[in-house]
Chain A
Amino acid sequence: MTTDKFAEYVLAEHERLLSKTSTDIARAADRDYLVSGISQADLQAPVTRKFAAVILHRAMQRLTREEDEDWGIAKGFRDIYDCRVCANAVAQVAVKGILPPETNNFFGMTDILTDEKVSETIIRLYNKSQRITKLLEL
Chain B
Amino acid sequence: MTPDRINKEGRFDSFDNGEILLNKKKNHLPPMGWNSWNAFGSNNTEALTRAMVDKIKELELDKLGYKFIVLDDGCYKPERVNGRLVSDEVKFASGFNAMSDYVHSHGLKFGMYNDIGDRLCSGAQVGTCGYEDVDAQSYVDWKVDFMKVDNCYYLWDNATFSNPENARYTFAPNIKAVKIDGKEYSAVKDGKVTGFVGKVEKDYVTFLGTFDGTGPDASPLEVRSSELVFEVEAEEDKTVSLAVEYATGKKEGVGEWLELAVGEDIFFDDFVEPTESEETFVWSRDFEVSLKKGVNIIRVMNHRRQENTLNSYSRFLRELNKLKPDHDIIYSACEWGKTHPQNWAYKVCDSWRILNDITFRVGNDGDPGVGNWKDDYTPSVTSQYNKAVIMDEFAGLDKGWNDPDMLMIGMNGLNDTQYRTHMATWCMMNSPLFLGLDLRRVKKGDALYQIIANKDLIDLNQDALGVQAKRVFSSLAVERPDKEYIRDINRVDILCKPLSGGDFALCFVNVSEEDKKGEFSVDVKELSKIFAGIKSAGSYEVKDLWTKEVTENTTGVFTVKELPACASVTLRITPKN
Contacts of B481 in A (CB 8 A): none
Contact B357 A37 (CB under 8 A): no
Contact among B91, B119, B161, B370 with A68 in the assembled complex (CB-CB below 8 Å): B370
Stretch at the interface among B59-67, B121-129, B387-395, B496-504: B121-129
- B173-181, B283-291, B358-366: which one contacts chain A? B358-366
Tell me which of B43, B88, B125, B360 contacts A87 (CB under 8 A).
B360
Q: Is the CB of A39 within 8 A of B42?
A: no
Q: Which residues of A contact B367 (CB under 8 A)?
A: 61, 68
A73 close to chain B: CB less than 8 A? no
| Chain B 58-95: CB-based contact to A (< 8 A → 1; otherwise 0) | 00000000000000011000110000000010110000
Assuming the A-B contacts A37-B42, A38-B123, A83-B161, are A88 and B74 also in contact, with contact meaning beta carbons closer than 8 angstroms in the complex?
no
Which residues of chain B are within 8 angstroms of A32 by Cβ–Cβ distance?
A: 90
Partner of B160 from the list A39, A42, A83, A88 (CB cut-off 8 Å) is: A83
**Cβ of A16 < 8 Å from any Cβ of B?**
no
Closest A residue by C-beta to B364:
A61
Q: Are A84 and B91 in contact (CB under 8 A)?
A: no
Instruction: Write out the residue numbers on chain B whose beta carbons fall within 8 Å of the beta carbon of A38.
Output: 78, 123
Task: Annotate A27-51 by CB proximity to B: 1 below 8 A, 0 otherwise.
Answer: 0000010001111111000000000
Known: A37-B123, A39-B124. A85 touches B79 (CB 8 A): no
Interface size class on chain B is: 20 to 34
- CB nearest to A51 among chain B residues: B123
B90 contact set on A, CB distance < 8 A = 32, 36
Residues of A within 8 A of B362 (CB): 88
**CA gap between A70 and B91 in the complex, in Å:** 29
Which residues between 89 and 131 of chain A lie within 8 Å of chain B, taking CB atoms? 91
Interface residues of B in 194-238 (CB under 8 A from A): none
Let me know if B152 is at the binding interface, CB within 8 A: yes
Write out, one digit per residue, whether chain B residues 397-420 have a CB within 8 A of any chain A CB (1) or not (0).
000000000000000000000000
Query: By DSSP majority rule, is chain A's interface helix, strand, loop, or mixed?
Result: helix
Q: Does B466 lie at the interface of the complex (its beta carbon under 8 Å from any beta carbon of A)? A: no
Distance of B221 from chain A, by nearest CB (Å): 24
A-B pair number, CB within 8 angstroms: 61
Chain A proximity of B543: nearest CB distance (Å): 39
Contacts of B370 in A (CB 8 A): 68
**Docked-complex contact A82 and B74, CB < 8 angstroms:** no
What is the distance, in angstroms, from B335's C-beta to the closest C-beta of chain A? 12
A71 neighbours in B (Cβ, 8 Å): 361
**B79, B152, B361, B367 — which one has the most chain A CB atoms within 10 A of its CB?**
B361
Query: Cβ of B377 < 8 Å from any Cβ of A?
Result: yes
Query: At the interface, yes or no: B341 with Cβ under 8 Å from chain A?
Result: no
* A77 CB, nearest partner CB in chain B, Å: 11
Chain A 50-74 residues near chain B, CB threshold 8 A:
61, 68, 71
Q: Is B356 an interface residue (CB 8 A)?
A: yes
Contact B74 A84 (CB under 8 A): no
Asked if residues A41 and B122 are in contact (CB atoms below 8 Å), the reply is no
| 5 residue pairs from A and B, CB less than 8 Å apart | A36-B91, A38-B78, A39-B119, A61-B367, A84-B160
Known: A39-B119, A81-B356. 8 other contacts (CB 8 A): A36-B43, A40-B78, A41-B79, A68-B370, A81-B377, A84-B357, A85-B42, A85-B122
